[in-house]
A and B are shown apart, each in its own frame.
Chain A
Amino acid sequence: MSQFIKIEFKRQLSSLILWTAIICGLSILMLSMYPAFKDSFSELEAMLDAFPPAMLEVFGLGEGGLDMSTPYGWYGMEGYLFVVLIGGSYAGILGSTILSQEEDDQTIEFLLSKPISRNQILFGKSLVVVTNLFILNMILFVTLVIAFSLIGDFIFLSTLLLVVGPFLLQLIFASLSLAISIFVTKSRKVMSVSLGLVIGLFFLDIIATLTDNLNFLKYFTPYEYVNAVSIVNNQAIEFVYLIISVVIIIVSGFVTWFFYNRKDITA
């Protein structure tokens, strides 16, 4: 069992390194631009005033939104977006391929002919997904701690939440994708479905922010749960969203467990 997890982890290691490098690299890049922009914020704000308020709302710059002149406001605006989108995509891909790849390559027959139960396979694979996402976000956390400290304005709770938020979002996408992969076994197809979900829900978030009478849609998009405005300005992830997130993850997990144990594996 432990060997199985080790092999699985090793198999996913190179993509973990790649995605971590991209996400941390972009965060560093965005934060490194902060000092240069800091001095010209008044001009920038004048320019922003020219934009329609709806557009500013989308980017979290509307009323009660982010203050771009602070490092956290700047990061919430410029860096965080990439982290949630790219991190979400990684989680979607990881969740959708970790099981379905074995069925695609028909290596699942090998695993299933060993004395290991389907639940052990599921548990091992899920553990690798969670571990990988955890490592990614730990490295991101360390990166942000260093970067914000260098800029000279480090706030522990904000930094932590800026990592916990994406981690939660990634767990949601990974667990949803894993559940989908039980039903759609071609890994390419699952990947398109879950990437569609990652991007589709992002646009849903924009729509929910833009349109007042569609505001209820915010409950259906996990991007809203880990909104940068709430994290940076209130230093909080809203409790109701936290509950919804946990429920989504548990329900996906249950669906995955229930159907994987009853499924014909016809590799």
Chain B
Amino acid sequence: MIKTKELTKYYGKNARGIIDVTMDIKKGEIFGFIGPNGAGKSTCVRTLLNFIFPTSGEAKVMGLDIIKDTVEIRRNVGYVPAEVHYYKHMIVEDFLKYSTEFYTNDYEERLHELAKHLELDLTRKIGDLSSGNKKKVAIVLALVYQPKILIFDEPTLGLDPLIQSVFFDLLKKEKERGATIFFSSHVLSDVQKICDRVGIIKEGKLIKVENIEDIMKARAKNIRIQSDDFNLKEDEHIINLKKIKDSYHFTYKGNIDKLLKKIESYKIDDISITEPTLEEIFMHYYNKEDKQ
């Protein structure tokens, strides 16, 4: 449904674009697009929607050329931007109705249904909305006319956890309906929750495309053990072992149960097992990439 070939956007020396991004997103798939801020996620999205023109390479959405057939593509794409900017003086309901008038069908009923799900107050002025509420407007806007493709750029940014889960339920319904979803985010837990595959983008390059399960297997835990008689050595599972004051810090990759059995015999004063931060997971991939 979304196919890019060596898609490149060069902004000049000082700004990062995207370089040779090649990917193939299948129909009905939820594709996560992850990378830290500034890696080129939004550039990629904007190129697909022809807000900006690629420097080289090509891309097709539903087999249509992103430049030549952009209007036809947009007719079939629902888009939620990272930062939502709509006409401040308009009332939410008027704005949503205005927006649906670009399409041929009548979406009034679905519009109200979605707004109800997301607890969006339709009677307020857009300018008075918080960023989370503006995001809701964007989500309603994208989902209301049931497009074939949904492109999300940081869709959960600003949404509270309750609404986030409503949003994910809505996404699942969209997937069941057969929509293809491009989900750009730097929030790994979001991507993990919903996506079938993920692409990791680093400094403008798509460095890896993997199934979400494989990514999860590679996920490590951060361990801190406070102990006097501890003498574990680094091995294939225990990485980056460091002693800071009286505690040992390391990253553990593998079956956590095996680790617990291994350290059973030590006298442990304190232990903490934490999820690595997103940065650490990125670092894991990023470093691996650097070594190659």
Q: Interface on A for B, CB 8 Å cutoff?
A: 3-4, 7, 11, 105-107, 109-110, 112-117, 262, 264-267
Contacts and interface: CB of A to CB of B under 8 A. Distances in A.
Contact of A105 (B51, B72, B81, B85): B85
Nearest to B102: A114
Interface of B: 46, 49-53, 70-72, 74-75, 77, 79, 81, 83, 85-89, 98-99, 101-103
A110 B85 contact: yes
Given A106-B85, A107-B86, A109-B85, A116 B71 contact: yes
Nearest to A114: B102
B85 A107 contact: yes
A127 B222 CA distance: 62
Contacts of B70: 117
A107 B87 contact: yes
22 contacts: A7-B98, A11-B87, A105-B85, A105-B88, A106-B85, A107-B86, A110-B87, A112-B49, A112-B50, A112-B51, A113-B77, A113-B79, A114-B99, A115-B71, A115-B72, A115-B74, A116-B71, A264-B51, A264-B52, A266-B46, A267-B51, A267-B85
Give 5 nearest A-B pairs by CB, closest first: A106-B85, A115-B75, A264-B52, A114-B102, A113-B79
Contacts of B51: 109, 112, 264-267
A3 B81 CA distance: 23
Contacts of B83: 106
Contacts of A4: 102
A261 to B, nearest CB: 10
Nearest to A111: B102
A101 to B, nearest CB: 10
Given A105-B88, A115-B74, 17 more contacts: A3-B102, A11-B87, A105-B87, A106-B83, A107-B85, A112-B74, A113-B49, A113-B74, A113-B77, A114-B99, A115-B72, A115-B75, A117-B70, A264-B51, A265-B51, A266-B52, A267-B51
Contacts of B99: 110, 114
B252 to A, nearest CB: 43
A214 to B, nearest CB: 41
Contacts of B46: 266
Nearest to B74: A115
B228 to A, nearest CB: 58
A15 B141 CA distance: 29
B102 to A, nearest CB: 4
The interface centre, meaning the residue of B74, B89, B103 with most chain A CB atoms within 10 A of its CB, is B74
B276 to A, nearest CB: 34
A109 B77 CA distance: 13
Nearest to B73: A115
Given A105-B88, A110-B85, A115-B103, A265 B52 contact: yes
A118 B6 CA distance: 26
Contacts of A110: 85-87, 99
B84 to A, nearest CB: 9
Nearest to B52: A264
A107 B88 CA distance: 9
A16 B88 CA distance: 20
A109 B81 contact: yes
A110 B79 CA distance: 9
B185 to A, nearest CB: 18
Contacts of A262: 53
Contacts of B75: 115
A3 B71 contact: no
A112 B99 CA distance: 12
A113 B79 CA distance: 7
Contacts of B87: 11, 105, 107, 110
Nearest to A4: B102
